[in-house]
A and B are shown apart, each in its own frame.
Chain A
Amino acid sequence: MTKYLDEFNDPELARRLLDEIAATVTRPWSIMEVCGGQTHTIIRNGIDQLLPESVQLIHGPGCPVCVTPLEIIDKALAIAARPEVIFCSFGDMLRVPGSDQDLFAIKSQGGDVRVVYSPLDAVRIAQDNPDKQVVFFGIGFETTAPANAMTVHLAKTQGIDNFSVLVSHVLVPPAITALMEAPERRVQGFLAAGHVCAVMGMSQYVPLVEKYHVPIVVTGFEPLDVLEGIRRTLLQLEQGRAELENAYPRAVTFEGNVRAQEMVHDVFEVTDRAWRGIGMIPASGWRLSARYSAFDAENRFDVRGILTQESSLCRSGEVLQGLIKPNECGAFGTGCTPRRPLGAPMVSSEGACAAYYQFRRLANPVAAP
């Protein structure tokens, strides 16, 4: 595994790819990496600063933490605060601000909030605590869905009735559609998220390429993977091509993981879903299907009455669509900082707003917090 990581981090090969990119580009292009994992790689390695100035990377809405709507966070907080509940979540959801507080604050007030690394851990916690209600926060894109679906399936077949899931799954292809249908369209090419495609296959992207005539390159997550995805996208753009390419063949096939898809389609059904900062996107999410609705935490804890409006100050939706840069938001650096984020892109270090914030510190250290 280590060798694997080093192999895709080789500075010599990176240099060569960057040279090829520089030789390819003749005019300005805007490319969106959809996935938060790729944004992380880009920021962590400083890839954006190594590209020609005319190439702009737009950090897309592919971080599940960033796009989980405020209303779902508020529902999570209400459920997690209940004394009979053990609330299990992936770690980075704990600091995402709801209307008033975050899951860390609930924990500090006595709520039993636990970080799990796998949803199956939450099922185990449910089995170990039969007198408690164990709720798993099932968020994420198509990547995390199979494991989340598996837990619900397990809970049903094994009769683990004290387990339920708060589901807020989102899907990549409808988000790309929404970006392409938006009146202002900035994105000219996409790096598609390799792990999403490993599950769902590439086939879903064929209609998008055909309808919108936009290059989509399935891309991995190591620095060299991302550079190769960028190189191929730019090559298509310069040559006037718009094709679906696979730059991540070691993980992605055209059909994807069929067994995982079957599991997902058994447990989930497609639903309209609100994206934080962006708004409602039709048919862009999954919810538990009727067969599994007994395991839906929204039903079990009656939080359907919680309806939350987003802060009008936060323009993260426009940031995530590439319409504005983070520092063009009025709240940037004043009402909204990593210490006190208004919107999720300011929460994690690879969020588009937080990344901008750090680089402003470098350019203008006097303004450091």
Chain B
Amino acid sequence: MSKPMDPSPLQPAVDLANWSCPLPLRDSPHIVMGHGGGGRLSAELVEHLFVPAFSSGDDSALARLGDSAVVAVGAERLAFTTDSYVVRPRWFPGGSIGDLAVNGTVNDLAMMGARPLYLTVGFILEEGLEVAELGRIVEVMGRAAREAGVTIVAGDTKVVDAGHGDGVYINTAGVGAVPAGVTIGPELARPGDVVIVSGPIGMHGIAVLSVRDGLEFGSQIASDSAPLGDLVAELIDAGVQIHALRDPTRGGVAATLNEIATASQVGVHIEERQVPVPADVRAACGFLGLDPMCVANEGKLVAFVAPSDADRALALMHSHRHGTGAVIVGEVTADHPGVVVARTAIGGTRVVDLPLAEQLPRIC
């Protein structure tokens, strides 16, 4: 008879009856749309609800709150992430929910410096969805995966009653391999770093809004949905010292800069005139009352690189098809840690805040 196993350390039972919601979540006792908007409300949900609940003692990977977790498996470091896609409408100029479901997860892996390798996909389908449309979506996903150099290796399908879904929701999870010696993270930006945006911003958000029900407006803007793993790999292979990388999706460039400024406890200074905003995006934002800096992108990255490598990084990006429009938009400073400041086109300054929740069109 083998020796009895050591009794496991006593797990305190979760006392759900006496559980009370941590502040500041009590401010809004129900989930509001802003909790999924990528702004301050989303961050509070993660910080006050998810991280404490999922903490396991060895929670450094979760608590770092990168675009992916980086975990060690044997001698290898893997980037591991998941994302769900609920975009409406499902088809929009320049892409579809299928493109996003692949590229979004691939990009989250790439932002930790990883080579994206494998994806899983979960479908939540609403009863009544046309099979032909599902067919088109998975065709797009297969093509996007091949272009991104990843393989979809597992999946799941659930169907919910009519009226309980929005046609198709897609979840993808992905793993990638982080090359030896590469350490990139939102907390690693440092004073002196140069901030590069890989191309024109705001295109995805405006493309989706331009075809949203009740808001159709004529626009030539197409989504920028694209896989960025290859672009990041070229930078890493060339030895560019990248400290922080993030793809400015929900909440746009403004949210990304704020997240990195906060995580690294540095200030970020932006020259607003340098921020590449296409004319059509600027015009649409003008009449919708939106700030292009807060509009979502799906094929752009913001890179914080060592100043000595900035020009080389820029040249490498320019020679890559997903970085032709890359520009230096600002730099990191030791002043005003956690705050992003923009010098405006006419020479004033303003604080670029993290959007609280989803952007609201202004009335005046």
Residues in A lying within 8 Å of B, measured CB to CB: 1-2, 5, 9, 11, 14-15, 35-37, 40, 43-50, 62-65, 90-95, 104-105, 107-109, 115-117, 121, 124-125, 139-141, 143-144, 195, 223, 338-340, 348-349, 358-359, 361-362, 365, 368
A90 touches B346 (CB 8 A): no
Q: Shortest distance in angstroms between B355's beta carbon and chain A's nearest beta carbon?
A: 9
Looking at chain A's contact residues, is the secondary structure mostly helix, strand, loop, or mixed? helix
Cα-based distance from A116 to B139 in the complex (angstroms): 34
Closest to B273 in A: A11
A to B CB contacts below 8 Å, 11 in the list: A5-B282, A35-B364, A37-B364, A45-B348, A47-B348, A94-B360, A95-B357, A105-B32, A108-B31, A121-B214, A338-B356
Give which listed residue, A35, A105, A338, A365, contacts B339 with CB less than 8 A: A365
Given known contacts A9-B346, A339-B40, is B286 in contact with A92 (CB within 8 Å)? Answer: no
How many A-B pairs with Cβ below 8 Å? 136
Q: Shortest distance in angstroms between A2's beta carbon and chain B's nearest beta carbon?
A: 4
Closest to B350 in A: A46
Which 7 A-B pairs give the minimum distances between C-beta atoms? A46-B348, A91-B360, A108-B30, A14-B346, A91-B361, A358-B351, A2-B279
Cα-based distance from A195 to B363 in the complex (angstroms): 12
Given known contacts A105-B32, A108-B28, is B350 in contact with A44 (CB within 8 Å)? Answer: yes
Cα-based distance from A40 to B360 in the complex (angstroms): 14
Residues of B308-364 at the interface with A, using a CB-CB cut-off of 8 Å, are 336-339, 341, 343-351, 353, 356-357, 360-364
Q: Which of B215, B289, B362 has the most CB of A within 10 A?
A: B362
Given known contacts A108-B32, A109-B30, A223-B346, is B214 in contact with A92 (CB within 8 Å)? Answer: no
Cα-based distance from A251 to B97 in the complex (angstroms): 42
Looking at chain B's contact residues, is the secondary structure mostly helix, strand, loop, or mixed? loop
* B28 / chain A contacts, CB cutoff of 8 Å: 104-105, 108
Q: Shortest distance in angstroms between B35's beta carbon and chain A's nearest beta carbon?
A: 9
- Give the B interface residue count (CB, 8 A): 43
Residues of B256-299 at the interface with A, using a CB-CB cut-off of 8 Å, are 267, 273, 279-280, 282-283, 286, 288-289
* B357 / chain A contacts, CB cutoff of 8 Å: 95, 104
Q: Shortest distance in angstroms between B343's beta carbon and chain A's nearest beta carbon?
A: 8
Residues in B lying within 8 Å of A, measured CB to CB: 24, 27-34, 40, 214-215, 267, 273, 279-280, 282-283, 286, 288-289, 336-339, 341, 343-351, 353, 356-357, 360-364
Cα-based distance from A92 to B362 in the complex (angstroms): 5
Q: Which of B337, B338, B344, B356 has the most CB of A within 10 A?
A: B344
Q: Shortest distance in angstroms between B252's beta carbon and chain A's nearest beta carbon?
A: 14
Q: Shortest distance in angstroms between A123's beta carbon and chain B's nearest beta carbon?
A: 12
Cα-based distance from A341 to B283 in the complex (angstroms): 31
Cα-based distance from A108 to B24 in the complex (angstroms): 17
* A144 / chain B contacts, CB cutoff of 8 Å: 363-364
A143 touches B339 (CB 8 A): no
A105 touches B349 (CB 8 A): no
Given known contacts A116-B214, A368-B338, is B347 in contact with A63 (CB within 8 Å)? Answer: no
B339 touches A368 (CB 8 A): yes
A2 touches B283 (CB 8 A): yes
Closest to B337 in A: A365
Closest to B34 in A: A104
A348 touches B361 (CB 8 A): no
